Amino acid sequence: MNGAQDLGGMMGFGPTLAEPDEPVFHARWEKRALALTLAVGALGEWNIDVSRHARESLHPVDYLSSSYYEVWLKGLEKLLVARGLATPRELAEGRALGPSKPTKPPLAAGAVATALAEGTPYDRPQTSSARFSVGDDVRALNVHPKGHTRLPRYVRGRRGRVEKIHGVFVFPDANAHDLGECPQWLYSVRFSSQELWGGDGDRNLDVSVDAWESYLEEAKA
């Protein structure tokens, strides 16, 4: 979706302000918001693409005026309600007012290290051959899906070159909407700054994105 999360190339946000000796967390609530997001995620009631879509579906004004952990918190609250794990009234009151949804048992403290160290691999078996080869000229489709996508607006309709084939990976556009993993070939595609930004582009800049096969078409010579 063309939401507030898709920021590449926007202007007017001002300088990047790095905080010297920045702590990992700035408040206790940030620690808990992160931990709650990961721990509830471990129940397996949704996947990472569903989470990302919940965050980017916030109203653009809400998204841009929230801090990052606030966006996580709001995404988590939204999913808890949408998936029937809690009600808005329970969230407001901070206590259970009805039965819990049957889920997997909660992540145990002793299982945290293993769960984080194992992660969740997103590559899948290669059951078909890749449509594109390294060196192929491709064009990112000019598409504007209403749902989740990982094709940023600034490359749509632009011509680039396949530089690497990563393998076959879970397709977020489907996975975010519970349509299955629908794995596809994933490519690293390199675009020149002139192609992306025209005459204003830095002549010594190339930008690469990782693009699933269905985001791309063959570029005519």
Partner 1 sequence: MARHSSPIGGATRAHAHDHEDGLSDIAVRVRALESLLIEKGYVNPAALDAIVETYERKIGPRNGARVIARSWVDAAFRKWLLEDATVAIESLGYAGRQGEHMVAVENTPEVHNMVVCTLCSCYPWPVLGLPPVWYKSAPYRSRAVIDPRGVLSEFGVSLPPATKIRVWDSTAEIRYLVVPMRPDGTEGWSEERLASLVTRDSMIGTGFALDPRSLAPEPAT
Residues 153-182 that bind partner 1 (CB under 8 A): 154, 164, 166, 169-170, 172
Please report, to the nearest 10 degrees, the dihedral formed by the alpha carbons of residues 206, 211, 214, 219 taken in order.
Answer: 20
Nearer to partner 1, 14 or 125 (CB): 14
Residue 202 is a binding residue for partner 1 (CB under 8 A): yes
Q: How far apart are CA 188 and CA 173, in angstroms?
A: 18
Q: How many residues bind partner 1 (CB under 8 A)?
A: 100
Amino acid at the residue 150: R
Query: Binding to partner 1 (CB under 8 A): which residues in 8-27?
Result: 8-11, 13-19, 22, 24-27
Query: Binding to partner 1 (CB under 8 A): which residues in 33-52?
Result: 33-36, 38-40, 43, 52
Q: How far apart are CA 137 and CA 74, in angstroms?
A: 40
Q: What angle do CA 130, 53, 98 make, to 5 degrees?
A: 130
Positive or negative, the CA dihedral 99, 104, 109, 115 is negative
- Which of residues 54, 151, 176, 216 is near partner 1 by CB under 8 A? 151
Smallest separation (angstroms) from partner 1 to the CB of 34? 7
Q: Exposed, middle or buried by CB within 10 Å (0-12, 13-18, 19+), for 108?
A: exposed
SS3 category, 137? strand
Nearer to partner 1, 13 or 129 (CB): 13
**Hunting for tokens 């397709």 — which residue is that?**
171
Query: Binding to partner 1 (CB under 8 A): which residues in 81-120?
Result: 85-86, 90-96, 100, 103, 106-109, 111-113, 115-120
Residue 1 is a binding residue for partner 1 (CB under 8 A): no
Query: Binding to partner 1 (CB under 8 A): which residues in 181-200?
Result: 186, 188, 193, 196-197
Smallest separation (angstroms) from partner 1 to the CB of 175? 11
Residue 143 main-chain phi, psi, to 5 deg? -125, 155
